[in-house]
């Protein structure tokens, strides 16, 4: 007899095992690859040293944060199963159990401490330092519990942790292989794990079978750079890639008509607006700034330049902000007559006003700037267009050397007024040109208030001052547009992050 | 010959030093990388600290001397953006550019030289007009436009070739034709004019009078004497292909040094730009040198002393 009685159970069990293995292998083999075409290649895979969009898009899939955002951008448990405010300055995070890194090391409180301390290190200072420097220290209470103590009360800490900089890195692995080794073969806890990277060619990841949520339905996720927009779109239409980022408004129709691909967009979590250097006459005159506000036909800009893919703003904050934003206000008004009246009242004598912009940095930047300047000229403002190269703009930005109006695209990184106007316009901020004691007080106080109602009231009051004083010429809230194959389902997010986990084959 | 070689080598070193210095100065005049590397939230203090880390806070001459010393040892520094040695990045991308340029050069030569000769043999014929009109298009159409047209026709309309990336020979076809188009046109036009000039000379008439076959006259007698300008332009074009691949590499997402250099310029990634330009310059100077040596083979009257 070939099978002894004591081994008789082995046969059906091994058959079952083989069958399961074959099925598993077959489903893996049948699983498709997901190819994502971006405008540029990733610069490196160390999440603490880059905040560029194409890099962050990969980081959010390779690594996980303690707190995540769901499809509707609401905060949701990530590597932290729950969190609570212990006292004004202490947030307590309970970690999710059973999470492992791609090398099977368990995820623990030690990793949280290591990651956050590295992010806010003084020397060398990381690229994400400013986003997380409200944290004073990380206290480990148990293997699954940490307290994050902040320098001041920080109601936004969970939000900050959901954004860049809040990614969890493996302490043990990092200590073993060092920074060089980590950058060569990075590991995280995310749904994709690193396989291979040929610079400017492809970046390959495999599905993480031990992910703490059900694994993604792809064998591999591949990122490819297509710097030229026309080629990127052609690659999607030819089926070479499944998903592309940065689709310009004028290409939407081509994709929609193709029959094989579709377009998905979400309103940008921020504005396209012109920062006004209020220190330069005649821009120091509030009436002239108000006149500019009424001189812009925003509806025409959205309709013609963005082909309807955007909205005319109605408040000092974009409509994605969770606090402070008032949706009952009407969209900004276009009233050239009022603009002319305000100019006359201000005694405007036709002094030249420069309207600056980088070329090719933002979608439609050149066209928008020319249009805005023409609209200003229509009401009698002597507007002069000045186009700059991107790095020259960056330099002027840093040196606070704007010569008049400068186009920008401030993002509400935390979907909160603190993450946009206060981040940029606070004393010493990147675009600190305008100061108003009451606005400063309201914004400065609001960021430390743990009561959401109080914060909301502060921001609403601050918005009124902001709109009266017009330190920024807000133009529009454009849509950020992506395109994907028709057999995929995905909902675009206002924060522009492409979360592979949410990108699903259509049933 | 040895003295010539030494002289030539000295000139090459001088050229490479000059190019490196110009790139060093121009890059530093064009903007501050620290500003571009840090996120918007970064403070003035952060920028100052990064400039110090990158050695950009030192006086210009100190930076220059350090750059010279390091580059003599083949060390161009670490890329600001990619956080790895610039020369390693260039090496990784160089092979792709060489592959593309060589393919483009082969296509250009194989098509252009016979076309030029045929056009010269039958001047003002229908073939001549057709070939030269096509060459005019190849020379005047922007590379970018040719690339996009090829993508639309043979990537999207007839899905014969992949649109972007590198890997199989199929990936190479469209970028090589796009890149080679300009060189193809100039080589064809020059081959035609050089051949026309030579075929008017007395020794060709003599060969014909001797009763030699037309094929033999063209291939053995005329072409050999028309070869000098053709080889010159081929050499120059190959150098231009190496340096001019930027647009093609961008349109076809080809991972070459042109694209690497352009990214480097946008990001003010000095080490990458310096390493890429230096490498391209080495190839350009090297090819010119090879062409000069080829002259002696083609025309025994040319001697380098």
Q: Read off the pLDDT of each residue in A408-419 and give the average, rounded to a whole number.
A: 88
What 3 state SS string does B108-125 have? HHHHHHHHHHHHHHCCCC
Query: Percentage of chain A with pLDDT > 70?
Result: 94
Tell me: pLDDT of A3 over 80: no
Q: Which of the residue ranges A7-16, B126-135, B291-300 would you say has the lowest mean pLDDT?
A: A7-16
- Name the closest residue on chain B to residue A400, using Cα atoms: B44
Question: Which chain A positions have a beta carbon within 8 Å of B36's beta carbon?
Answer: 391, 394
Cα–Cα–Cα angle for A41, A107, A492, nearest 5°? 40
Q: Are A178 and A474 within 8 A, CB to CB?
A: no
pLDDT of residue A507: 73
The answer to whether the Cβ–Cβ distance between B253 and A392 falls below 8 Å is: no
Q: Which of the residue ranges A48-62, A115-129, A178-192, B125-139 would you say has the lowest mean pLDDT?
A: A115-129
Question: Which chain A positions have a beta carbon within 8 Å of B81's beta carbon?
Answer: 43-44
pLDDT of residue A15: 54
Q: Where would I find the beta strands (DSSP E) of A51-161? A: 67-69, 75-77, 80-87, 90-95, 135-142, 145-150
CB–CB contacts below 8 A, A to B: 123
The answer to whether the Cβ–Cβ distance between B81 and A398 falls below 8 Å is: no
- Name the closest residue on chain B to residue A53, using Cα atoms: B39
pLDDT of residue A157: 95
pLDDT of residue A6: 43
ipTM: 0.80
The answer to whether the Cβ–Cβ distance between A200 and B35 falls below 8 Å is: no
Q: Read off the pLDDT of each residue in A311-318 and give the average, rounded to a whole number.
A: 96
Tell me: pLDDT of A30 over 50: yes
**pLDDT tens per residue, range A144-170:** 999 999 999 999 999 999 998 899 999
Tell me: pLDDT of A457 over 80: yes
pLDDT of residue B230: 85
More confident residue, B23 or A185: A185
Q: Which residues of A474-488 are buried (b: 16+ CB within 10 A; e: fewer)?
A: bbbbbbbbbbbbeeb
Instruction: Return all residues near A261 (Cβ < 8 A) that are at least 6 apart.
Output: A236, A237, A255, A483, A484, A485, A486
Tell me: pLDDT of B38 over 80: no
How many angstroms separate the CA atoms of B305 and B299, rounded? 15
Q: Are A474 and A273 within 8 A, CB to CB?
A: yes
The answer to whether the Cβ–Cβ distance between A234 and B252 falls below 8 Å is: no
Q: Are A164 and A128 within 8 A, CB to CB?
A: yes
Nearest to A127 among B38, B151, B163 (CB): B38
Q: CB of B162 within 8 Å of any CB in chain A?
A: yes
C-alpha closest to that of A355 among A371, A375, A369: A369
Question: Which chain B positions have a beta carbon within 8 Å of A238's beta carbon?
Answer: 155-156, 159, 163
More confident residue, A415 or B81: A415
**pLDDT tens per residue, range A237-279:** 999 999 999 899 889 999 999 999 999 999 999 999 999 999 9
Q: Are A473 and A296 within 8 A, CB to CB?
A: yes
How many angstroms separate the CA atoms of B278 and B243, rounded? 11
The answer to whether the Cβ–Cβ distance between B82 and A44 falls below 8 Å is: yes
The answer to whether the Cβ–Cβ distance between A127 and B36 falls below 8 Å is: no
More confident residue, A200 or A399: A200
**pLDDT tens per residue, range B193-243:** 888 888 888 888 888 888 888 888 888 778 877 888 888 888 888 877 877
Nearest to B31 among A43, A125, A395 (CB): A395
Question: Which chain B positions have a beta carbon within 8 Å of A225's beta carbon?
Answer: 253
**pLDDT tens per residue, range A221-232:** 999 999 889 999
The answer to whether the Cβ–Cβ distance between B148 and A230 falls below 8 Å is: yes
Q: Read off the pLDDT of each residue in A393-409 and give the average, rounded to a whole number.
A: 88
The answer to whether the Cβ–Cβ distance between A231 and B50 falls below 8 Å is: no
C-alpha closest to that of A239 among A500, A33, A42: A33
Q: Read off the pLDDT of each residue in B57-85 and give the average, rounded to a whole number.
A: 86
pLDDT of residue B211: 81
Q: Count Cβ atoms below 10 Å from residue B201 Cβ, excluding itself.
A: 13
Q: Read off the pLDDT of each residue in A77-99 and give the average, rounded to a whole number.
A: 96
pLDDT of residue B87: 92
Whole-Å CA distances, A251 to A304, B66, B210, B239 = 13, 48, 66, 36
The answer to whether the Cβ–Cβ distance between B152 and A234 falls below 8 Å is: yes
Q: CB of B260 within 8 Å of any CB in chain A?
A: yes
Tell me: pLDDT of B28 over 90: no
Q: Would you place residue B267 in the very low, low, confident or very high pLDDT band (cuts 50, 70, 90)?
A: confident
Question: Which chain A positions have a beta carbon within 8 Å of B99's beta carbon?
Answer: none
Average pLDDT across chain B, whole number: 85
The answer to whether the Cβ–Cβ distance between B156 and A226 falls below 8 Å is: no
pLDDT of residue A19: 53
Question: Which chain B positions have a beta carbon within 8 Å of A203's beta carbon?
Answer: none
pLDDT of residue A148: 97
**pLDDT tens per residue, range B141-191:** 888 899 999 999 999 988 899 998 898 899 999 999 999 998 899 889 989
Which domains are present in chain B?
A: 2-71 (no CATH), 91-298 (1.10.3720.10)
Question: Which chain A positions have a beta carbon within 8 Å of B270's beta carbon?
Answer: none
DSSP output for A378-433 = HTT-EEEEEEE-HHHHHHHHHTT---SEEEE--B-TTSSGGGTHHHHHSTTSTT--
Q: Would you place residue A9 in the very low, low, confident or very high pLDDT band (cuts 50, 70, 90)?
A: very low
Interface of B with A in 4-33 (CB under 8 A): 30-32
- Name the closest residue on chain A to residue B162, using Cα atoms: A240
More confident residue, A359 or A234: A234
pLDDT of residue A59: 96
Nearest to B164 among A124, A198, A224 (CB): A224
C-alpha closest to that of B87 among B104, B72, B65: B72
pLDDT of residue A28: 47
pLDDT of residue B40: 64
Tell me: pLDDT of A29 over 70: no
- Name the closest residue on chain A to residue B29, using Cα atoms: A392
Pairing of strands A405-408, A272-276: antiparallel
Question: Which chain A positions have a beta carbon within 8 Å of B48's beta carbon?
Answer: none
Tell me: pLDDT of A7 over 70: no
How many angstroms separate the CA atoms of A146 and A23, rounded? 41
The answer to whether the Cβ–Cβ distance between A238 and B260 falls below 8 Å is: no
Tell me: pLDDT of A375 over 50: yes
Query: Percentage of chain B with pLDDT > 70?
Result: 97
Query: What is the pTM assigned to this prediction?
Result: 0.85
Q: What is the largest CA-CA distance in chain B?
A: 85
The answer to whether the Cβ–Cβ distance between A231 and B259 falls below 8 Å is: no
Q: Which of the residue ranges A381-390, B88-97, B262-271 would you say has the lowest mean pLDDT?
A: B262-271
């Amino acid at each position: 007899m070939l099978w002894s009685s004591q081994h008789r159970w082995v046969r059906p069990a091994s058959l079952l095992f083989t069958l399961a293995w074959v099925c598993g292998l077959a489903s893996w083999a049948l699983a498709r690859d997901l190819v994502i075409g971006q405008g540029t290649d990733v610069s490196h895979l160390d999440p603490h040293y880059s905040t560029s969009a194409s890099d962050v898009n990969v980081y959010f899939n390779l690594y996980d944060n303690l707190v995540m955002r769901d499809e509707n951008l609401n905060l949701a448990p990530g590597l932290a199963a729950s969190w609570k405010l212990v006292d004004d300055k202490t947030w307590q995070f309970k970690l999710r159990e059973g999470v492992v890194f791609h090398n099977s090391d368990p995820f623990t409180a030690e990793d949280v401490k290591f990651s956050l301390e590295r992010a806010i290190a003084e020397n060398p200072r990381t690229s994400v330092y400013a986003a997380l420097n409200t944290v004073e220290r990380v206290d480990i209470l148990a293997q699954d519990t940490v307290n994050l103590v902040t320098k001041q009360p920080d109601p936004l800490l969970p939000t900050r942790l959901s954004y860049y900089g809040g990614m969890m890195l493996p302490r043990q692995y990092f200590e073993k292989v060092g920074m060089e080794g980590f950058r060569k073969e990075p590991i995280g806890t995310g749904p994709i794990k690193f396989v291979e990277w040929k610079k400017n060619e492809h970046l390959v990841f495999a599905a993480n079978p031990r992910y703490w949520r059900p694994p993604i339905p792809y064998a591999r996720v591949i990122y490819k750079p297509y710097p030229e927009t026309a080629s990127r779109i052609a690659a999607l239409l030819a089926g070479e890639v499944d998903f592309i980022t940065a689709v310009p408004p004028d290409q939407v129709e081509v994709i929609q008509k193709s029959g094989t691909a579709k377009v998905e967009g979400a309103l940008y979590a921020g504005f396209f607006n012109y920062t006004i250097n209020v220190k330069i006459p005649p821009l120091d005159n509030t009436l002239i700034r108000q006149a500019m506000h009424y001189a812009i036909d925003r509806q025409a800009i959205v309709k013609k330049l963005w082909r309807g893919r955007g909205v005319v703003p109605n408040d000092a904050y974009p409509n994605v902000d969770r606090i402070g934003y008032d949706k009952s206000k009407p969209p900004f008004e276009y009233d050239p007559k009022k603009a002319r009246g305000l100019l006359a009242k201000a005694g405007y004598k036709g002094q030249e006003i420069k309207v600056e912009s980088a070329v090719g940095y933002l979608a439609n930047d050149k066209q928008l700037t020319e249009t805005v300047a023409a609209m200003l000229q229509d009401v009698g403002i002597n507007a002069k267009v000045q186009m700059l190269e991107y790095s020259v703009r960056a330099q002027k930005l840093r040196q606070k050397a704007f010569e008049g109006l400068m186009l920008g695209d401030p993002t509400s990184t935390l979907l909160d007024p603190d993450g946009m106007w206060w981040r940029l316009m606070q004393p010493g901020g990147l675009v600190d040109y305008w100061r108003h004691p009451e606005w400063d007080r309201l914004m400065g106080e609001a960021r430390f208030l743990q009561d959401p109602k109080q914060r909301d009231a502060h921001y609403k009051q601050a918005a009124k001052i902001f709109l009266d004083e017009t330190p920024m010429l807000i133009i529009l809230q454009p849509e950020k547009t992506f395109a994907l194959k028709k057999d995929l389902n995905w909902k675009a997010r206002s924060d522009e992050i492409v979360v592979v986990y949410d990108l699903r084959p259509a049933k | 010959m040895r003295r010539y070689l030494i002289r030539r080598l000295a000139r090459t070193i001088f050229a490479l030093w000059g190019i490196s210095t110009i790139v060093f100065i121009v890059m530093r005049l064009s903007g501050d990388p620290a500003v571009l590397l840090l996120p918007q939230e970064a403070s003035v203090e952060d920028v100052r600290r990064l400039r110090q880390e990158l050695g950009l806070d030192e006086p210009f001459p100190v930076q220059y001397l350090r750059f010279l010393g390091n580059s003599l040892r083949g060390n161009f520094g670490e890329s600001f953006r990619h956080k790895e040695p610039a020369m390693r990045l260039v090496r990784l991308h160089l092979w792709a550019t060489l592959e593309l340029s060589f393919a483009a050069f082969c296509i250009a030569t194989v098509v252009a030289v016979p076309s030029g000769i045929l056009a010269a043999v039958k001047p003002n014929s229908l073939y001549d007009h057709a070939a030269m009109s096509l060459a005019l298009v190849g020379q005047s159409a922007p590379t970018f436009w040719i690339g996009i047209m090829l993508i639309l026709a043979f990537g999207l309309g007839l899905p014969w070739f992949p649109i972007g990336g590198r890997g199989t020979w199929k990936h190479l076809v469209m970028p090589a034709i796009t890149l080679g188009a300009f060189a193809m046109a100039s080589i064809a036009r020059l081959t035609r004019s050089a051949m026309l000039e030579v075929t008017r000379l007395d020794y060709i008439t003599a060969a014909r009078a001797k009763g030699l076959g037309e094929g033999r006259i063209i291939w053995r007698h005329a072409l050999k004497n028309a070869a000098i300008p053709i080889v010159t332009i081929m050499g120059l074009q190959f150098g231009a292909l190496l340096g001019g691949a930027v647009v093609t590499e961008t349109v076809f997402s080809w991972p070459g040094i042109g694209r690497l250099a352009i990214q480097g310029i946008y990001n003010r990634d000095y080490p990458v730009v310096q390493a890429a330009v230096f490498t391209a310059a080495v190839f350009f100077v090297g090819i010119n040198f090879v062409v000069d040596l080829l002259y002696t083979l083609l025309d025994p009257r040319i001697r380098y002393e």
